[in-house]
């Protein structure tokens, strides 16, 4: 009886020690203090984007020229701009614009890029050659120049800036998924699925796609930070959001001529961009360390 009890205890201990891959990744992620800080920053700005328009003390376009370029105070926490508008209220509304552009652009680019990468990696041959060469051509141009070219063709607007950012990020997702698929399709379970007559579409949907999502999650988190910077850059150049939209990059562009007289008009939008990007980068690095087996000791 004692031997049976001891074996039972050993089995229970072994079962407790066996955890799923996602649970193990969560444990690893929780141990990364930088990743937790980044996640807290991201959650904070997401909350601002959701509730910001309701807690903003002033309207985003409420102008009062008698209060123009006022420094931060109890009434205007972040000061006012050259038209007397409350910068704090505009930053709260701008959080929704920047995050919407970041998330939407990455969702579009990840969807299109993953589809093209899976097709190229799985079928190979001339399909892979054509898709890969298109990716190479797009990656040959600096991303911001390619975005400027796309917006110049479509016309300056926030929607067209979103489309441009989505287009320039497609190759990074496509090449990432392609390399992953090239490795997965040589696994034994894929050959076994083909041997029993499983259709290619089902193999792609049931086996290839689920096992390729880990790098997409990591790349997507990091790409959101890049998309926010690119949206701000296009707005700063006058190719993104148009007045009077309170987009952070546009706010920087409008305030640059008052840098010496009213530096707060540029400091607070710039800090918002910096903190948001840092938050997504820290969270993305933590996800990479937690989900990538090569990063684990």
- The predicted-structure confidence for 100-151, as pLDDT tens digits, reads as follows 999 999 999 999 999 999 999 888 889 999 999 999 999 998 888 999 999 9
Mean per-residue pLDDT, 270-285:
92
Q: Which of 16-30, 72-86, 161-175, 212-226 tops mean pLDDT?
A: 161-175
Other CB atoms within 10 Å distance of the CB of residue 39 = 20
Helix 213-236 and helix 158-184, axial crossing angle in degrees, nearest 10: 160
How would residue 68 be classed by pLDDT, with cut points 50, 70 and 90? confident
Beta bridge partners of 86: 80
Question: Which domains does the chain possess?
Answer: 47-62+75-295 (1.10.3720.10)
- pTM for the whole thing? 0.82
pLDDT of residue 22: 64
DSSP alpha helix (H) spans, the chain? 2-17, 21-30, 33-55, 87-123, 125-139, 143-154, 158-184, 188-195, 200-203, 213-236, 248-255, 264-291
Q: Measured between alpha carbons, how far is residue 158 from residues 48, 74, 222, 227, 268 in Å? A: 20, 33, 21, 13, 21
Question: Does residue 96 or residue 204 have the better pLDDT?
Answer: 96
How would residue 13 be classed by pLDDT, with cut points 50, 70 and 90? very low
The answer to whether 194 touches 136, Cβ cutoff 8 Å, is: no
Percent of the chain with pLDDT over 90: 34
Beta bridge partners of 118: none
Other CB atoms within 10 Å distance of the CB of residue 6 = 10
The answer to whether 110 touches 220, Cβ cutoff 8 Å, is: yes
pLDDT of residue 112: 94
pLDDT of residue 17: 46
The answer to whether 238 touches 156, Cβ cutoff 8 Å, is: yes
């Amino acid at each position: 009886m004692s031997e049976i009890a001891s074996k039972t205890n050993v089995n229970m201990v072994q079962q407790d020690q066996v955890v799923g891959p996602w649970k193990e990744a969560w444990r690893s992620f929780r141990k990364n203090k930088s990743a937790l800080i980044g996640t807290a920053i991201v959650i904070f700005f997401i909350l601002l984007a959701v509730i910001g328009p309701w807690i903003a003390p002033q309207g985003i376009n409420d102008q009062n020229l008698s209060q123009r370029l006022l420094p931060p105070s109890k009434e205007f926490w972040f000061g006012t701009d050259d038209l007397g508008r409350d910068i704090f209220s505009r930053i709260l509304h701008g959080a929704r614009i920047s995050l919407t552009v970041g998330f939407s652009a990455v969702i579009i680019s990840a969807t299109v890029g993953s589809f093209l990468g899976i097709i190229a990696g799985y079928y190979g041959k001339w399909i892979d050659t054509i898709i890969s060469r298109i990716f190479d051509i797009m990656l040959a141009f600096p991303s911001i120049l390619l975005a400027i070219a796309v917006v110049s063709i479509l016309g300056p607007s926030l929607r067209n800036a979103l489309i441009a950012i989505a287009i320039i990020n497609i190759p990074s997702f496509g090449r990432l998924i392609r390399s992953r698929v090239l490795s997965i399709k040589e696994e034994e379970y894929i050959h076994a699925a083909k041997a029993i007559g499983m259709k290619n579409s089902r193999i792609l949907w049931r086996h290839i796609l689920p096992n390729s999502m880990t790098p997409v999650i990591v790349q997507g988190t990091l790409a959101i930070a890049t998309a926010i910077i690119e949206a701000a850059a296009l707005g700063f150049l006058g190719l993104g959001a148009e007045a009077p939209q309170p987009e952070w990059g546009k706010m920087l562009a409008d305030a640059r001529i008052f840098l010496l007289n009213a530096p707060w008009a540029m400091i607070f939008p710039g800090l918002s961009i910096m903190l948001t990007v840092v938050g997504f980068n820290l969270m993305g690095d933590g996800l990479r360390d937690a989900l990538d087996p090569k990063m684990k000791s």
